[in-house]
């Protein structure tokens, strides 16, 4: 099956710093989602981005489907950005559901 | 209520108990999913329902039994669980399978 790798696995930032999270996937995908899991376990949708670039406030994402990777940019990080960021992909094969990476655990320190 | 809701949020059960987890989506979606998140493991899909019919079952033990009575509700019936079944159980929905998924807040299950 498709493999999804995220890097780095852990990241510690000073408040106000910028960061880039990466997601590599091993096969063609139909779609890709980025999530933020807060400390209570809730998965919050950040982006639904099969290709191209999207921006939402301090967050932006770029997916280059032909090269099988996606990037999540966080600018001017805040302590509330802490948590785990997951990339998940949907493959082209019928009803195959989201395949998740292991996540990047982000800690933003004041 | 908006989005995807799950009840209960926390559940502690003994290995001989029977309990059910409930998920409700208020988004008008036609596909619903159960995922399991164990400590230090990626999220694992358990079941997929599309238009109330199960379309995928990822080799889940029979002690987990899903039920989808209509497109808005999804249940996970639990019986004779093992301590290793302790995990966060997440429900999700999407317009159709293959479309963007939206998750509920999860039920944190502890099996004693």
pLDDT in tens, B64-86: 999 999 999 999 999 999 999 99
Condensed to tens digits (0 to 9), the pLDDT of residues A53-67 reads 999 999 999 999 999
Q: Please tell me the distance in Å from B35's CA to the nearest CA on chain A.
A: 10
Categorize the per-residue pLDDT at B42 as very low, low, confident or very high, splitting at 50, 70 and 90: confident
* Half-sphere exposure (Cβ direction) of A71: Cα atoms closer than 13 Å: 11
pLDDT of residue A92: 65
Kindly determine whether residue A41 and residue B37, on different chains, have CB atoms separated by under 8 Å. yes
CA gyration radius, chain A: 13
Q: Cβ contacts of residue A77 below 8 Å, gap of 6+?
A: A13, A14, A15, A16, A17, A18, A19, A58, A106, A108
- Chain A interface disruption, residue of B29, B48, B100, most A CBs within 10 A: B100
- Chain B interface disruption, residue of A10, A35, A43, most B CBs within 10 A: A43
Provide the 3-class DSSP secondary structure of residue A68. Answer: coil
Res. B1: pLDDT tops 70: no
Q: Cβ contacts of residue B34 below 8 Å, gap of 6+?
A: B23, B45, B46, B47, B66, B74, B76, B89, B90, B91
Nearest to B48 by CA among B20, B80, B23, B12: B23
Regions of chain A with pLDDT less than 50: none
Strands A10-14 and A104-109: parallel
Angstrom CA distances, B85 to A62, B7, B28, stand at 36, 18, 31
Categorize the per-residue pLDDT at B59 as very low, low, confident or very high, splitting at 50, 70 and 90: confident
Kindly determine whether residue B42 and residue A102, on different chains, have CB atoms separated by under 8 Å. yes
CB B104 within 8 A of CB B23: yes
pLDDT of residue A2: 87
pLDDT of residue A93: 62
- In this prediction, what percent of chain B has a pLDDT beyond 70? 96
């Amino acid at each position: 099956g498709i493999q999804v790798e995220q890097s780095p696995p852990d990241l510690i930032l000073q408040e106000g710093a910028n960061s880039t999270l990466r997601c590599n996937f091993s096969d063609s995908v139909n779609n890709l989602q980025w999530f933020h899991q807060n400390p209570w376990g809730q998965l919050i949708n950040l982006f639904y981005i099969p290709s191209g670039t999207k921006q939402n406030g301090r967050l932006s994402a770029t997916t280059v489907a032909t090269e099988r990777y996606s990037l999540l940019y966080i600018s001017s990080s805040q302590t509330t950005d802490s948590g785990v960021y997951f990339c998940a992909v949907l493959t082209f094969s019928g009803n195959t559901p989201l395949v998740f990476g292991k996540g990047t655990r982000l800690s933003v320190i004041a | 209520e908006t989005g995807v809701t799950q009840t209960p949020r926390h559940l502690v059960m003994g290995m001989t108990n029977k309990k059910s987890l409930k998920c409700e989506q208020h988004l008008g979606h036609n596909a619903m999913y159960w995922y399991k998140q164990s400590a230090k493991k990626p999220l694992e899909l358990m079941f997929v329902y599309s238009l109330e019919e199960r379309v995928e079952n990822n080799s889940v033990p029979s002690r987990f039994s899903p039920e989808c009575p209509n497109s808005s509700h999804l249940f996970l019936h639990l019986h004779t669980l093992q301590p290793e079944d302790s995990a966060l159980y997440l429900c999700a929905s999407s317009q159709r399978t293959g479309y963007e998924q939206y998750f509920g807040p999860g039920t944190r299950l502890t099996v004693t």
